[in-house]
Chains A and B, each alone.
Chain A
Amino acid sequence: MGIRSQIPLVSANGVVFCWRIDLGGKPMTEDKLSNGPAPQEPLFPPIPHIEAYKPGIDRTLLVENLKLTPLERLARLADLGESIKELRKLVRGPGATAK
């Protein structure tokens, strides 16, 4: 570990931070020293078997959904559902009834 220098910084809302920087200039940690709000507890403590699924969730889909109104989100999924129904009918052939 190299020699570190400590540089006090004051943010716009008056919170004082101290950045410890190694000789390469890379920030190592950020310590809140005073006046800041207490760190917020997470609303839900992490559950390992749920955390394990998170890397696999497609966030781009969620970002797109959040651009829509709630009813538009629902309508979009309903359209998808109706399209799948139509496709199933095609696969089963004419005269087949949907399950």
Chain B
Amino acid sequence: MISNAMIQALKHLARHEVEFVVVGGIAAALNGASRTTQDVDIVYRRNPDNFAKIVRALAPLNPYLRGAPPGLPFIFDEETLAKGLNFTLTTTLCDLDLIGEAPGGGEFDKLIANAEVARDDEGTIYFASLPDLIRMKRAAGRPKDFEALAELEILLSMQSGNN
């Protein structure tokens, strides 16, 4: 379920000037989809400056590897980010997936070029456009996404005035 904590998490990252594009179910909801989701997925820019911002932003939220047994040594720092690519994390606010490269969508630079913008007094959040979301979901090819994909494609046709 989408929760207020997920929105807080996104705004928290934006306040810390982390460069990211929201993808997945939250981006679908921002585009108008009526479906809910369990976690926050973001594609982040992979460079040392952004690694530092992510580490600084997430430190107070106790990031930990989702599904890993408690007590495993896990140091979430710039080096960890540099050596890895995709991270599925739990935080004190919500589950958070940090994605370095999304199948069908590519890296941050590619997604940000077409991204949509959500802005309020607390900051600016960039989220993947409908065509990019559809490309990513089609590339994933998961049967559980078929209905969500149908909804996204209808939204796209509504946007283009073909429905």
Residues of A within 8 A of B (CB): 43-44, 47, 49-51, 53-54, 56-59, 61-63, 65-66, 69-71, 73-75, 77-78, 80-82, 84-85
Residue of A nearest to B2 (CB): A77
The answer to whether A59 touches B163 (Cβ under 8 A) is: yes
Residues 27-51 of chain B, each 1 if its beta carbon lies under 8 Å from chain A, else 0: 0011111101000000000000000
The answer to whether B131 touches A62 (Cβ under 8 A) is: no
Contacts of B119 in A (CB 8 A): 71
Given contacts A44-B138, A70-B30, contact A49 B146 (CB under 8 A): yes
A66-B155, A82-B3 given; name 19 further pairs at CB < 8 Å.
Answer: A57-B151, A59-B154, A62-B32, A62-B33, A62-B151, A69-B118, A70-B30, A70-B118, A70-B127, A71-B118, A71-B125, A73-B29, A74-B2, A74-B118, A78-B6, A81-B1, A81-B3, A81-B36, A85-B1
The answer to whether A43 touches B156 (Cβ under 8 A) is: yes
The answer to whether B146 touches A77 (Cβ under 8 A) is: no
Contacts of B118 in A (CB 8 A): 69-71, 74
Contacts of B4 in A (CB 8 A): 75, 78, 81-82
Give how many B residues have a beta carbon under 8 Å from the other chain's beta carbons: 34
The answer to whether A66 touches B32 (Cβ under 8 A) is: yes
Does B101 belong to the interface (CB within 8 Å)? Answer: no
The answer to whether B146 touches A50 (Cβ under 8 A) is: yes
- Interchain CB contact (< 8 A) of B34 among A47, A58, A69: A58
The answer to whether B153 touches A65 (Cβ under 8 A) is: no
The answer to whether B154 touches A62 (Cβ under 8 A) is: yes
The answer to whether A44 touches B6 (Cβ under 8 A) is: no
The answer to whether B36 touches A80 (Cβ under 8 A) is: yes
Residue of A nearest to B141 (CB): A47
Given contacts A54-B153, A73-B30, contact A78 B147 (CB under 8 A): no
A75 to B36, CA, bound (A): 12
